[in-house]
Amino acid sequence: MAEAEGPSESPAEIPAGIPAGIPAEIPAGIPAGTPSETPAENRAETPAESPARPSEPKAILLDRDGVLNRERGFIHGPEELEPREGLLEALRTWKREGFLLLVVSNQSGIARQLFHLDDLRRTHARLQEFCGGLLDAIYICPHHPEEGFAPLLRSCPCRKPGSGMLRQALREWGLRPENCLLLGDAPRDLFAARSLGIKAALMTGDKVPTPDHWPRDQAPLPTFLPDLRSAVAWTLEVLTDPGLKEDA
């Protein structure tokens, strides 16, 4: 699997004992450790403050590949990143509505030594450019339970369908599950969300082209969304559900 790229650098550049879902790519400008106190700063690019200011923070939790950018297998560097149609417009709408935008991404390519953490950082710097700097944080899991190299070759709670990255994001941003929505393109993204009681919908694509491809033993069938425009519509629709907002 890692034939092309030899382990020219030691994986030791990745801190040993990476905690569940390291917030590896917190955008510059957000002091690590106090994320929940700084999102206002990140909204500076939003033209106008939303008049409706919820008393509790809310977030869209976003898988990366197949949601923000095109799914094309492992992405080794920024040049392989292809933003999805309507990306910036969707993110701006969510920001205007007051959502935090938090990416949660399995990145076992690091454990497999297909690319290095520095490559991933460059990829995510490019991703932030595509996203107009609107992403509040990017959480990654660098592990894989069966493939790759020590110390990242291990089972971990952060790799989806595990909920570790989501739990960390909720904790760091002071979020309750009922104030979050997740968009993913793989069943495991949704399983991670469901295990915490987070509502989630599935972006159709290579992984799950149609509802027929959803695992039959995993009820209920989720909402299927063909593009980001419909994803925005879904999130705003769920948001207006009184059940979601009532106890804010």
Edge-first strand order for the sheet with 58-62 is 137-141, 99-106, 58-62, 180-184, 199-203, 223-225
Residue 153, token pair as written in the block: 């070759």
What's the rounded Cα separation, in Å, for the pair 16 and 124?
Answer: 21
Our CB check for Mg ion shows the closer of 67 and 98 to be 67
Interface positions, 129-148, toward Zn ion (CB under 5 A): 141, 143
Q: Which of 25, 65, 136, 172 binds Mg ion (CB under 5 A)?
A: 65
User: Per CB under 5 A, which region of 79-87, 126-134, 181-189, 219-227 contacts Mg ion?
Assistant: 181-189
Interface pick for Mg ion out of 20, 23, 63, 199 (rule CB under 5 A) = 63
What is the closest distance, in whole angstroms, from the C-beta atom of residue 206 to Zn ion in the complex? Answer: 23
- Verify binding: residue 200, Zn ion, rule CB under 5 A: no
- Measured on CA atoms in the order 60, 172, 107, 83, is the torsion positive or negative? positive
The continuous run of DSSP H or E covering 203 comes out as strand 199-203
Does 24 sit near Zn ion (CB under 5 A)? no
65 in catalytic set: yes
Residue 9 CA to residue 21 CA, distance in Å, equals 22
Pairing label, strands 223-225, 58-62: unpaired
Closest CA to 137 of 178, 177, 166: 166
Instruction: Print the binding letters for residues 66-95 with Mg ion: x by CB under 5 A, - otherwise.
Output: x-----------------------------
- Kindly name the residue from 65, 136, 185, 189 that is annotated as catalytic: 65
25 binds, among Mg ion, Zn ion, none (CB under 5 to 8 A by kind): none
Region from 11-19, 20-28, 56-64, 238-246 binding Mg ion, contact rule CB under 5 A: 56-64
Residue 66 or residue 98: which is nearer to Mg ion going by CB? 66
DSSP 135-188: --EEEEE--BSSSS-TTTBS--SSSTTS-HHHHHHHHHHT--GGGEEEEESSHH
Residue 137 or 158 having the CB closest to Zn ion: 158
189 is known as an active-site residue: no
Site string for Zn ion, 152-171 (x = CB under 5 A): ----x-xx------------
Q: Are 245 and 239 in contact (CB under 8 A)?
A: yes
What residue 84 binds from Zn ion, Mg ion, none (CB within 5 to 8 A, per partner kind)? none
Examine residue 182 and tell whether it contacts Mg ion (CB under 5 A): no
Q: What one-letter code names the amino acid at 161?
A: P
Q: What single DSSP character describes residue 80?
A: G
Q: Does 172 bind Mg ion (CB under 5 A)?
A: no
Interface residues toward Zn ion, by CB under 5 A: 141, 143, 156, 158-159
**Where do contacts with Mg ion occur on this chain (CB under 5 A)?**
63, 65-66, 185
What residues are labeled active site? Answer: 63, 65
